[in-house]
Amino acid sequence: MEVEKFLELAERLTGTPVKPLGDNERTFLARVLRDDGKRVDCTQMNELLLLVNKDRMDAPFFEAFFTRPSVFAISEHSDCTIAEIETGVERFQKVAMLCFGNFVFAYRTLSRIQTEEDLQRELADVWQDPEVLLAELTSRSPKILEIDPISRDDTFLVGYLSARQISEDKTYADLLRAVAEAVSGEGEQWEEVLKQIDRSSQPNDRPKIRSLVENHRKRHSKHSVAEFARVLSDDVLPALRDQLEMLGTVQAKATGNQDIYLTWDHMDVYFATSMRKRWEYQDLYTFVNELMGRPEVAELNLRYFDPTQSFTANRVNKGLVEALMLRRAKCTVYSVQDTDTLGKDSELAATLAQGKPVIAYIPDIDVEQRAQELIGEDPVTVQERLRFLLHADESFVSSLGLTDRTFVEDFAALGEFERDRVWKSLPDEEAIRRLRDDHQEEISQLCRLLAVSEKRLYDGRARTLAQVHPLGIQVNLETGVANGVIVVRNVVDCATVLRKVVTNSLEFDLVDDKRDGMWFLKERVSGSVYRVVTKDRKLTNCFWNFYRRQ
């Protein structure tokens, strides 16, 4: 080993520069280091450190980092070769970045510990043996209570917006039926219906209720007021009552599930997400079930909080439940969907602030497969995704090829579909069928454009979260360690990383980024930055001076 290489390793080990050496010191070093195969024990390593004016280390530290393949393995030797010193330093740096956030404090703390037991206690988070953790997980007792599963198609009913829409539609339908029945005996004047609506409704509700009448008349121009009343009584209200009954059943089931989640003795995974639309609940349901059903995860008996299976009527209680789950869970899986919200981003930040891992799942879209999936969706979902992408993807409009006048007109017709719907919580099967028949080619073309846009959007979000977004790095509020998000693009990698997280078997590459003046610890499966240590001496000194005093 060259003298300069050893000096570099001494600086990496202690976190401070090596003071200039005299000629005699360099000569002595060169004599010792010239044989890479020469074996040195702890006392000899200390002699080398003192030779370059660095603090010595106690035996537990030397054995943990320089004589073992990993910190939790049994020492095979009581010494190491000169060439293996670099491996030991790198192993120490990785542990220092995981637990301390800087090398100076880590070396000063760990190198002075005099017993292996005390060192194990200090490094409790990284000293857990993966095989022991795996055995503990696979031998867990079964849950005393299982949740009552809610089907994929019904998961949207645990959302506040869905419940509000169904209740609102039912309230408006009751009012309209009463008004229509009263007016139909008085000459069946539609103008009178609108006057009665104005007299019977609150100002904020009137535009919505009037639009229901207008949309019905647009769809059924020959209907009288009496026929409108009949449609409400025979078709609309029974369907809305069924919807309300289903809503009550699902919410009762989801409320019970939440009580069960609260009682589980273990909580391993929290799923952070933002869900507003029906498809967002369905997408998350599919992702959670695919992920937790993967063989590398299924055998672990993990307990996880699935927001598509839980409901709390009170928003404050909901916040408290989620805060408890975030506190108890070992990690958070952050599902990057169409929209980012304060709640979901707060859950990511709160997890990192506790020093726990966050796995961000951002799907890598297969355009052709995604286009076919969208073609199979009902036009309401396609229209909602379209509206979102028009807002979120600046390149989307220019990709539409709007020079074709026919396509423009058909595209506009598709855009009118959602606005012309009468009851937002009831499927309009006839209108959906007619829309598909009349615009099959245009919908297929549009779905492919949507798939291309979704891929562009998700690829951009992956780059942003992994490389740019401030939320990508958060400081553990207790220790000051800077934690990064693990970004994965497919379910297989997500399952692999999740298994490694809960069994303490994540593997890392140590990267010395001289351009940015940073040490990066990168998780190997995803290539994501998991820990960082800055080389900025002023920032390092001020940060830890204030942080440690706090």
Instruction: Specify if 133 maps to a domain.
Output: no
- In a shared domain, residues 353 and 495: yes
- In a shared domain, residues 373 and 294: no
pLDDT tens per residue across span 68-99: 877 767 777 788 999 999 999 999 999 999 99
Average pLDDT over residues 498-523: 94
CB hemisphere CA count around 372 (13 angstroms) = 3
What's the domain range around 34? Answer: 3-127
**How far is Cα of residue 333 from the mean position of the Cα atoms in its chain?**
4
Identify the pLDDT of residue 408.
42
Instruction: Specify if 533 maps to a domain.
Output: yes
327 compared with 424, residue with greater pLDDT? 327
154 compared with 469, residue with greater pLDDT? 154
Nearest Cα to 376, choosing from 289, 239, 282? 282
Sign of CA dihedral 311, 317, 319, 320: negative
CA angle centred on 451, ends 450 and 457, rounded to 5°:
85
Total of domains in the chain: 5
Nearest Cα to 487, choosing from 534, 436, 529, 426? 529
Instruction: Specify if 142 maps to a domain.
Output: no
Statement: residue 320 has pLDDT above 70: yes
- In a shared domain, residues 196 and 270: no
Other CB atoms within 10 A of residue 267 CB: 19
- In a shared domain, residues 350 and 375: no
Out of 457, 482, 517, a domain closes at 457
- In a shared domain, residues 213 and 341: no
Separation of alpha carbons 227 and 239, rounded Å? 17
Other CB atoms within 10 A of residue 344 CB: 19
Instruction: Specify if 174 maps to a domain.
Output: yes
- In a shared domain, residues 260 and 195: no
- In a shared domain, residues 317 and 381: no
Top-ranked range on mean pLDDT: pick from 176-185, 306-315, 333-342 = 306-315
- In a shared domain, residues 97 and 231: no
Statement: residue 503 has pLDDT above 60: yes
Other CB atoms within 10 A of residue 339 CB: 15
Classified as helix, coil or strand, 360 is strand
Identify the pLDDT of residue 549.
64
Instruction: Specify if 193 maps to a domain.
Output: yes
- In a shared domain, residues 387 and 335: no
- In a shared domain, residues 63 and 211: no
Average pLDDT over residues 306-323: 92
Statement: residue 339 has pLDDT above 60: no
Instruction: Specify if 136 maps to a domain.
Output: no
Out of 127, 162, 191, a domain closes at 127
- In a shared domain, residues 35 and 88: yes
- In a shared domain, residues 438 and 297: no
In this structure, are residues 430 and 423 in contact, taking their beta carbons and an 8 Å threshold?
A: no
Pairing of strands 304-305, 269-272: parallel
pLDDT tens per residue across span 390-429: 777 777 767 765 544 455 455 555 555 566 678 888 877 7
Instruction: Specify if 544 maps to a domain.
Output: yes
105 compared with 346, residue with greater pLDDT? 105
Top-ranked range on mean pLDDT: pick from 72-86, 280-294, 474-488 = 280-294
Identify the pLDDT of residue 419.
64
DSSP-derived secondary structure letter, 341: -
Separation of alpha carbons 525 and 497, rounded Å? 7
Instruction: Specify if 122 maps to a domain.
Output: yes
Out of 252, 267, 296, a domain closes at 252
Q: Which of 70-74, 103-107, 378-382, 411-415 has the weakest average pLDDT?
A: 411-415
Other CB atoms within 10 A of residue 52 CB: 19
pTM for this one? 0.88
